[in-house]
Amino acid sequence: MLETILQVSFGFFRGVLFLYWTIVVLYTSVVLICIYIYQFPDIPELWFNATHLSKAWNDDIGLINYDNEHGDGTAELFVKLIAPISFLTVAILQLKFFHGRWLQVTDMESAAVQRRSADPKIGASPSSGRSDMSYLKIAHGFLRETIEVLWRLAEIHIGKLIALVLIIIAVDQVCAINFVLVVLVSLALAIPALHWLVCLFGTAYLALISLARMVYQMHFLANATERAASSLTKDCDFLNGTEPTSVNVWFGLHHSSMLGSYLAGFIVALLLLAAQAVIKYRQRYVRTARGEVEPPTGVVFPEVERQHADDGLTNCAKFLLNHVFYKFGLELCYIMMVIVAWARMDLVAAIIVIWLFAFAFLSRTATKRLWFFLLIFLAVLLPLQYALAVGLPPTSCIHYPWRLWFAEQFGDEGDGAVKVSNMIMWLDLPDYLVPPRPSLLVGDFFLLLFVACQAAVFRREHDEHPGGSNKAIIEHGYELDRSLNPHRDFVTYQRNFLDFFKMAIFLYGHWITWIMVFVAGLGGTSLFALGYLVIAFAMLWRGNDLFLLPMHAILRKWHALLLYNIFAIFCKVSLQVVGCVFVRGLDGSCWVRQLLSVVCVNPRAYPFGGFDKECLVEQAETMIGFDALCFVFVIFQLRILQSWYFQHCILEFRTERVLSSRGAVLVNQLIQKEMIEQDAEQRAKFDEIKERTALIRQRYNLQQIKGEEAFEPKTYAQ
């Protein structure tokens, strides 16, 4: 009740808090006195004579004489009383010493005046006393800033944490009363305007459920409902002799000896809802006291905008903390779709991959227009999936029609019964023998959460947003001109460590992506793996020359890779219906199963007797883990390709190609020049030899004309 008041109005909460503490002190005192007096030897008998209540009733009330139960019950009495005594002490201290001061501190009007008069920042120059500041003051200031950042993070994400806790509660205890929690989560995520109303109703509903579960522990109510449930229980022939779940357990109420663990989830959820209200009012109080305005939605560091992101690693980290989902939310949603498909590998997974097909190749503008339909689909799917997991009460003996339909098609004995059960599991339909897996709803919740956050991004994104524009360079009218690029050239000039980090991401990221494609090909021996290998070798062969093409041609090749990746994922998910249900039709075609990796990967699926031993197919090759890893790198690489940062890299690649071409021409020219010089040198030597030969011949001819005898040397010196 008090927490509901806190959700509605903090002023009214402050007004009734004194009355609440007073009632708590009085009630706790009465309880302690009654428990203590009941320990006297004659009191239990006097109480029975006055009320004629049985021992079970007294136990429900809390009146237990520990001496009668345990002999000397002093130790047990002390253990039972220590908690209420401690609570009473804290309540009295709060009421006596701290309540008045708390009212003064939480007074918005007086707090603003006091904070401004005491704030050393007001009326002082920004640099006054900075030189004399000690390390202790610096550490204290850093600690204060860190605490404020943590408060802001809690303010932004506390709602998401509450939704996650509610889903975990519902998945951990699948029952009818928790269906309302799943509906509330879907409403809060799909329609943010209803968030406050959903929190208010959720607080009241959780308190009501907790109270109902505590009241249900009383013997008279538990016995009455169990008798009523047993009277409604029928012997259902289709349960194959298994004991059906009673109606009260199906509804969500049952007797538990561990009441603390039974209510732990609801208590945690109520505490988080109270913490959300406390965080909201605390932030409002601090901003009022400091005269600050509320920062934009989801922003932790409002002073850091898009133009500051390139100043260094610190500002870049702050910018990403502010706008990581604003900049990369769409890619994260696509990745979450693939992860959900990987976890499910059923009909819902195939439908989600179809949605991924539809969005992955649309422009951001077209995606923005259709995103609302995906949000509605997931917001309806989540509670629908939970309703199917809850199903009908088994004691009602109402046949699910699909089991009868499939039994007529496949038979209800032997392989036919296996086909029926596996088909129901692949379709994710409710069934008494093979109920759906509620744990899969956690993945569905995260997908809905991501899609809802991206819908909020679509509602507020524009070119003048502090996070910058999300339009691709193609939508900006792309031209490969360095002067048109709004971002500094980090390839030619590196000013800080962030530039080196960007070089690693943008200059060499595509090589890592191609390696991941190659790894996806090495992850199996199927036809899909062969496709990855062919694409990887083709792109690795081209290397950086791929980016010498026009931008549209580059994007077409990368979109073709993405198309094949999603197609492989869809085929593997869809072929699960063949591997789990119709695999007997491939009897004698083992090469087809091995070529397409047709095998059932559902751990709950019933196997066909001896069939898998005849044709071994590894389940690891059918799972889409490597495909999902490849998709993560490809989808982010596509975002990199369409960024202004990558245009510096393209210019660098083209410059390297031009310089390498000109270098080759220069080398050829140098070789040609050297060959010409060598040829000229050889010609000169040849001409010299010819001249000397001519002189020798001329001298010989002259001697012959004069008739002189030829000189014959006698010694080597002559």
Does pLDDT of 534 surpass 90? yes
Q: What is the mean pLDDT of residues 393-406?
A: 82
Does the CA dihedral 264-270-272-275 come out positive or negative? negative
The answer to which of 13-27, 499-513, 631-645 has the lowest mean pLDDT is 13-27
Does pLDDT of 94 surpass 50? yes
pLDDT digits (tens, 9 = 90+) for 454-488: 999 999 888 777 887 788 777 655 555 556 777 78
pLDDT, residue 334, reads 96
The angle at the Cα of 340, spanning 391 to 194, to the nearest 5 degrees, equals 70
Q: What are phi and psi of 118, to 5 degrees?
A: -95, -10
**Higher confidence at residue 259 or residue 538?**
538
Q: What is the mean pLDDT of residues 102-108?
A: 74
Does pLDDT of 146 surpass 60? yes
**Higher confidence at residue 273 or residue 111?**
273
pLDDT digits (tens, 9 = 90+) for 539-584: 999 888 888 888 888 999 999 999 999 999 999 999 999 988 888 8
* Mean pLDDT computed over every residue of the chain: 83
247 contacts 393 by C-beta, under 8 angstroms: yes
- Cα(415)–Cα(607) distance, rounded to whole angstroms? 9
Does pLDDT of 615 surpass 80? no
Listing DSSP states for 584-596 in one string gives: GGGTT-HHHHHHH
pLDDT, residue 565, reads 95
pLDDT digits (tens, 9 = 90+) for 205-259: 999 999 888 888 877 776 666 666 565 555 565 555 556 667 888 888 887 778 8
Does pLDDT of 618 surpass 70? yes
pLDDT, residue 368, reads 92
Number of other CB atoms surrounding residue 445 within 10 Å: 26
- Cα(608)–Cα(585) distance, rounded to whole angstroms? 12
Q: What are phi and psi of 526, to 5 degrees?
A: -90, 180
Does pLDDT of 414 surpass 80? no
Q: How confident is the model at residue 657 (pLDDT cuts 50, 70, 90)?
A: confident
Q: What is the mean pLDDT of residues 163-167?
A: 95
- Cα(103)–Cα(109) distance, rounded to whole angstroms? 12
- Cα(439)–Cα(171) distance, rounded to whole angstroms? 6
Contacts of 362 (CB under 8 A, 6+ apart): 370
Does pLDDT of 5 surpass 90? no
Does pLDDT of 664 surpass 50? yes
pLDDT, residue 268, reads 93
**Higher confidence at residue 630 or residue 652?**
630
pLDDT, residue 1, reads 60
pLDDT digits (tens, 9 = 90+) for 304-323: 888 888 888 899 999 999 99
**Higher confidence at residue 144 or residue 132?**
144
pLDDT, residue 48, reads 77
Q: How confident is the model at residue 127 (pLDDT cuts 50, 70, 90)?
A: very low
434 contacts 424 by C-beta, under 8 angstroms: yes
Q: How confident is the model at residue 142 (pLDDT cuts 50, 70, 90)?
A: confident
Listing DSSP states for 309-369 in one string gives: TTS-HHHHHHHHHHHHHHHHHHHHHHHHHHHHHHHH-SHHHHHHHHHHHHHHTS-HHHHHH
pLDDT, residue 711, reads 54
Token pair belonging to 308: 């500051």
**Higher confidence at residue 717 or residue 660?**
660
The angle at the Cα of 385, spanning 380 to 388, to the nearest 5 degrees, equals 125
66 contacts 72 by C-beta, under 8 angstroms: no
514 contacts 536 by C-beta, under 8 angstroms: yes
pLDDT digits (tens, 9 = 90+) for 491-500: 888 888 888 8
Q: What is the mean pLDDT of residues 653-659?
A: 77
Q: What is the mean pLDDT of residues 435-454?
A: 94
Element (H, E) at 58: helix 55-61
Structural domain boundaries of the chain?
1-106, 472-646
Contacts of 536 (CB under 8 A, 6+ apart): 514, 515, 517, 518, 521
